[in-house]
């Protein structure tokens, strides 16, 4: 039987702390949240490995713990921040965000994953699971101080950027393949600027792929 507590500690010590993640609130959250509860039972033994963990059908994945931790740290969350977790999948990222930030809206478009997340997050008071197309966000609860895109996008996520509050930050992986980068976008008034924060790779989320261009 897998010793999940030990596996969790090894994940934090070997994958998170060694990647320049120093936010003690985040480190504590990742030590406390049982990641095995947020993966299909057949994959529980893989929950703490250094990989994008397949979940459900198709190409959906949970981000590597290191990539997730670095994205959340770059968001510079305050305890009162209103957060949109876009593409929450099974709810693991929302559970971590809820321990670092304020209220979390966990958005998922796959109905089965949304049900899984709602069950796994039961009892977490500051998370609400909602269902909508990921690229459309959840404007009903906007504006957000932080938006985390739980996967990669090949296009700048304009609809999500418009749901940021003044001073709000959006974190995502931009691009696919070896050239992908983790990005931090920030809103200042009507202006939005973006910068690369580290090299990263992730599966492209539904609705965020480039439109194919056909050459004749």
- Name the maximum alpha-carbon separation found in the chain: 57
Q: For residue 149, is it within any domain?
A: yes
Q: For residue 49, is it within any domain?
A: yes
Give the position of tokens 């899984």: 116
Contacts of 36 (CB under 8 A, 6+ apart): 2, 4, 44, 47, 48
pTM above 0.85, yes or no: yes
Residue 2's pLDDT is what? 81
Q: For residue 23, is it within any domain?
A: yes
Running along the chain, 216 residues long, what does each successive block of 10 average in pLDDT? 92 97 97 96 94 86 97 97 97 97 96 96 95 98 98 97 98 93 97 96 95 63
| Residue 113 belongs to domain with CATH number | 3.40.50.150
Domain that holds residue 153: 4-199
Residue 177's pLDDT is what? 82
Q: For residue 80, is it within any domain?
A: yes
Q: For residue 110, is it within any domain?
A: yes
Q: Is 38 helix (H, G, I), strand (E, B) or coil?
A: helix
Residue 216's pLDDT is what? 55
Q: For residue 163, is it within any domain?
A: yes
Residue 215's pLDDT is what? 55
Q: For residue 117, is it within any domain?
A: yes
Q: For residue 211, is it within any domain?
A: no
Q: How far is Cα 179 from Cα 79, in angstroms, rounded to an integer?
A: 33
User: Count of domains in the chain?
Assistant: 1
């Amino acid at each position: 039987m897998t010793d999940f507590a030990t596996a969790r500690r090894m994940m934090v010590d070997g994958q998170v702390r060694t990647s320049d993640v120093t936010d003690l609130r985040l480190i504590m959250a990742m030590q406390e949240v049982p990641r095995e509860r947020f993966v299909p039972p057949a994959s529980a033994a893989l929950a703490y490995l250094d990989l994008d963990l397949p979940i459900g059908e198709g190409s959906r994945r949970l981000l590597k713990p290191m990539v997730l931790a670095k994205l959340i740290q770059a968001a510079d969350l305050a305890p009162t921040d209103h957060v949109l977790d876009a593409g929450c999948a099974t709810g693991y990222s929302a559970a971590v965000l809820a321990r670092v930030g304020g209220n979390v809206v966990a958005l998922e478009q796959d109905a089965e994953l949304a049900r899984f997340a709602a069950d796994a997050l039961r009892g977490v008071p500051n998370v609400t699971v909602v269902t909508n197309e990921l690229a459309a966000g959840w404007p009903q609860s906007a504006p957000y101080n932080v938006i985390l895109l739980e996967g990669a996008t090949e296009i700048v996520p304009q609809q999500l950027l418009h749901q940021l509050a003044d001073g709000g930050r959006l974190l995502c992986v931009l691009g696919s393949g070896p050239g992908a980068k983790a990005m931090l976008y920030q809103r200042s008034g009507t202006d939005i600027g973006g910068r690369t924060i580290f090299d990263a790779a992730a599966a492209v989320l539904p609705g965020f792929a480039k439109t194919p261009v056909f050459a004749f």
